[in-house]
Amino acid sequence: MLRLYCLLFLLLNQALAVLSVDTYSRKDFPPDFIFGAATSAYQVEGAAHEDGRSSSIWDTFSHGGGEVAVDEYHKYKEDVHLMAETGLEAYRFSISWSRLIPNGRGPVNPKGLQYYNNLIDELISHGIQAHVLLYNYDHPQSLEDEYGGWLSRNIVRDFTAYADVCFREFGDRVSSWSTINEPNIFAVGGYDQGVVPPGRCSYPFGFGNCSIGNSSTEPYLAAHNMLLAHASAVRLYKNRYQSKQNGVIGITLYAFWLLPLTNSTEDETAAQRARDFFLGWFLNPLVFGDYPEIMKKNAGSRLPVLTNQDSKLVKGAFDFIGMIHYTTVYIKDNSKTLKLENRDVQADMALTIWFTQDEDDPFGIFPVEYPARPWGLQGLLEYFKEAYGNPPVYIHENGQVSRRNSSLEDTSRVEYLHAYIGSLLDSIRNGSNTRGYFVWSFLDVFELLDGSGSSYGLYFVDLKDPTLKRLPKKSAHWYSHFLKGGRVSPDGTIELEKTFDDSSSGTLVSIG
């Protein structure tokens, strides 16, 4: 049955590739569908040591790399004006826990409170919805020092209290809340591989230069506590705030579409195992109340147990599922790792990930540029629909990476966005319950893995200019034209009714 199930998905992907949309406009999407762009606090704000903000685990991990970032803390009015000129309907940003509650719990920082109130008010005054992320790899370092952050159940209490402050202070103007960003990747990257904050891993696993950690147990424990913290915050919001504030709340997962490298039974089984580990790790508890059976089997006692009480708290604790999607990858079975006495998450998955189908070059050009496989978005959304009951979905990140300081003529990014938004339109017409789409990212930001080495932005930020001037790329022109009702074509060309202003401000002239 499993083999037939995977074969049907392969056939579906081939069929969906044929159905891709060529030319479309904003008007082809449902009227209540939301288009926007996204950033996160540490990646844009800067002002790392100003107005009472404390250090986060991301500050510690990056050795202060985001101290300036792109200085949105001081330039938020300029940036919101630019968003309005571009035609954004929504802006997804995160709140810095370290800026709002510097000690992790206790007193609220008045300057931090004022900043986020000002930012939200500025968005609303320009007709832009505020979609807020509570957590993106950045709890206060003080909590990491005190009890190990996500490795302690104490963080469930502190995260819920932090969320309570956000709901109370900002919720009357926030359309959508996301609790934790890509916890599935954060758990593995931060506690197994050591490549993201807080940089924990143990030999022989991990790629980071870790001095502390346990790759066998900590990823599962951290993820478990994230799941409980998410559910606790959601229940609080629903019980105390939602009926008055009328927002929605969910969690955002990193979501490759995962396909077998070959049509062998082993690879097809491994691909489903990958879906269970990457997506089911959080989706199964949220939808069904427990972890996937294959995870419980392969991880054994290293995977914490969801008690009956935990299961009741977690099951159904979402209004939507956020999705971060960039590309499709291929899965090859590697079941021999299950024979290892000491295993991490990767070994429990018993597979290897290939970014191409070329056996001589399994990683291709990743991560310099994600392979554009827009049909994979359709396969992923179809899987959400069939396996998890078609929940409401927001695509919280999608975009193409390039090397920083590359040309403003980012034709490849335009082609990528056109293909993926067209694929999304096909999915909606096929019954997907997707409600919104956000380009990552609005600006060239401080990236997690390589700082200023790569960029995803619609707008180039000139780090050599003391004013950090923002300049529109071709993709900004394209997206603005689309948002304002213009039709766009597969070659990325658009016909502008008025030209864009290339003045030093970098702002766009309204078109149409």
Q: What is 73-123 written as a DSSP string?
A: HHHHHHHHHHHHHHT-SEEEEE--HHHHSTTSSSS--HHHHHHHHHHHHHH
β-strand partners of 259: 330
Q: What is the pLDDT of residue 402?
A: 84
The helix/strand/coil state of 46 is coil
441 is a domain residue = yes
User: What residues pair up with 133 in beta bridges, in sequence order?
Assistant: 94, 178
Fill in the amino acid letter for 429: R
Tokens of 403: 């090397």
Looking up residue 258, the CATH number of its domain turns out to be 3.20.20.80
pLDDT attached to residue 455: 86
CA distance 216 to 495: 55
Count other Cβ atoms within 10 Å, centred on residue 157: 13
pLDDT of residue 31: 93
DSSP 305: P
Contacts of 219 (CB under 8 A, 6+ apart): 187, 188, 191, 192, 344, 345
* Total count of domains within the chain: 1
Range of the domain at 161: 33-489
Q: Which helix (H) or strand (E) holds 415?
A: helix 411-429
The pLDDT value recorded for residue 321 is: 98
**Per-residue pLDDT, 369:** 62
* 16 class by beta-carbon count within 10 Å (0-12 exposed, 13-18 middle, 19+ buried): buried
Do residues 36 and 90 lie in contact, with contact meaning Cβ atoms separated by under 8 Å?
A: yes
List the beta bridge partners of residue 37. Answer: 91, 439
Q: Residue 500: its pLDDT value, please? A: 39
* Amino acid 365: pLDDT: 40
Tokens 């510097």 -> residue:
102
In a domain? residue 3 = no
User: How many Cβ atoms from other residues are within 10 Å of residue 125's Cβ?
Assistant: 10
Q: Which of 321, 259, 110, 280 is nearest to 184 (CA)?
A: 280
Is 495 part of any domain?
Answer: no
332, β-bridge pairs? 352
Tokens 């193409």 appear where? 400
Catalytic residue among 45, 78, 85, 182: 182
For residue 247, being part of any structural domain is answered with yes
The pLDDT of residue 182: 97
Residues listed for the chain: 512
Place of tokens 């496989």: 373
Instruction: Please confirm, yes or no, whether 218 is among the known catalytic residues.
Output: no
- The answer as to whether 220 is a domain residue is yes
Query: What is the C-alpha to C-alpha distance for residues 107 and 365, in angstroms, rounded to an integer?
Result: 47
pLDDT at res. 359:
55
- pTM of structure: 0.91
- Which residues lie closer than 8 Å to 104 by C-beta, 6 or more apart? 97, 139, 140, 142, 143, 146, 158, 162
pLDDT of residue 12: 43
Residue 153 phi, psi dihedral angles, 5° rounding: -70, -10
Is 214 contained in some domain?
Answer: yes
Choose the catalytic residue: 144, 382, 397, 447.
397
Whether 182 is covered by a domain: the verdict is yes
**In the structure encoding, which two tokens stand for residue 320, read together?**
């939507």
Instruction: Provide the 10 A C-beta neighbour count for residue 4.
Output: 8
Question: Which residues does the chain have with pLDDT short of 50?
Answer: 1-20, 362-368, 495-512
| Catalytic residue status for 382 | no
C-alpha gyration radius of the chain: 22
Note the pLDDT of residue 446.
87
> Would you say 226 and 180 are in contact if contact means Cβ atoms under 8 Å apart?
yes
Kindly tell me the sign of the dihedral angle through the C-alpha atoms of 203, 136, 482, 393. positive
Q: Is residue 500 part of a domain?
A: no
